[in-house]
């Protein structure tokens, strides 16, 4: 097999050089957005920080906003994951701790700013909406399992999410103290106790 044939086959393999280049570009975008925010992100700095040729950036993401949006989406994927250990209280506590940790990073703060309705970038707003929807779907799936298992009475999972997420955002955004596991435990204990004690309305 000639070198040219091998090169063509390598280029067609998933996870090859182009995948590595894209990962480097997304990583650099994440770092720049964390440093400068979405509004201060400068497209021309990506190639230098990623260690790739500028044409690689333009070829993969001709549009600056699409690059920022994809970096946001990739970074936030972990914020939308909630595991199922069979113990809803523990799972929610782990979820809140992980979310608070992510939101407390510079990139997480940039993501929070993008949630604001005044944000001018439609692509970024749509991406943030998608991230929030993913988070909501993951939580609804876990809560529905808890209801099926008898851990909880029937409950509006979206409302439960608002009850547990609200204090996390408040503590993290105020920045007056670090959100810790005992905070998550208190929030989850109070919310779940209230739901279990509430009788369905006739």
CATH of residue 88's domain is 1.10.357.10
In total, the chain counts a number of residues equal to: 202
* Judgement on whether residues 23 and 120 belong to the same structural domain of the protein: no
CB 86 within 8 A of CB 151: no
Assigned token pair, 120: 């001018």
**Could you read off the pLDDT of 146-155 as tens digits, one per residue?**
999 999 999 9
Residues 6+ apart with CB under 8 A from 28: 45, 46, 49, 50
Range of the domain at 83: 75-197
pLDDT of residue 126: 75
Domain end marker among 33, 62, 91: 62
Report how far residue 32's alpha carbon sits from residue 108's, in angstroms, rounded to the nearest whole number: 13
Residue 67 lies in a domain: no
**Could you read off the pLDDT of 19-65 as tens digits, one per residue?**
889 989 998 988 888 788 777 778 789 999 999 988 999 899 998 88
Nearest 10 degrees: Cα torsion 96, 98, 104, 107: -120
pLDDT of residue 80: 58
**Stretches in the chain below the pLDDT threshold 70:** 1-15, 76-80, 111-121, 123, 199-202
């Amino acid at each position: 097999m000639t070198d040219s044939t091998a090169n063509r086959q390598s280029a067609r393999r998933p996870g090859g050089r182009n995948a590595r280049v894209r990962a480097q570009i997304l990583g650099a975008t994440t770092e720049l957005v964390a440093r400068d925010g979405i509004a201060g992100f400068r497209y021309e700095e990506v190639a230098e920080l990623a260690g790739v040729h500028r044409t690689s950036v333009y070829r993969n993401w001709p549009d600056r906003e699409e690059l920022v949006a994809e970096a946001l989406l990739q970074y936030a994927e972990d914020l939308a994951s909630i595991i199922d250990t069979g113990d809803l209280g523990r799972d929610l506590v782990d979820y809140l701790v992980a979310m608070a940790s992510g939101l407390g990073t510079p990139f997480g703060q940039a993501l929070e700013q993008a949630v604001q309705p005044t944000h001018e970038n439609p692509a970024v707003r749509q991406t943030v909406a998608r991230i929030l929807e993913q988070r909501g779907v993951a939580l609804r799936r876990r809560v529905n399992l808890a209801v099926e298992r008898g851990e909880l009475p029937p409950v509006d999972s979206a409302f439960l999410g608002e009850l547990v997420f609200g204090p996390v955002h408040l503590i993290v955004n105020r920045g007056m103290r670090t959100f810790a596991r005992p905070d998550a435990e208190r929030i989850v204990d109070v919310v779940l106790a209230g739901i279990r004690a509430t009788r369905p309305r006739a």
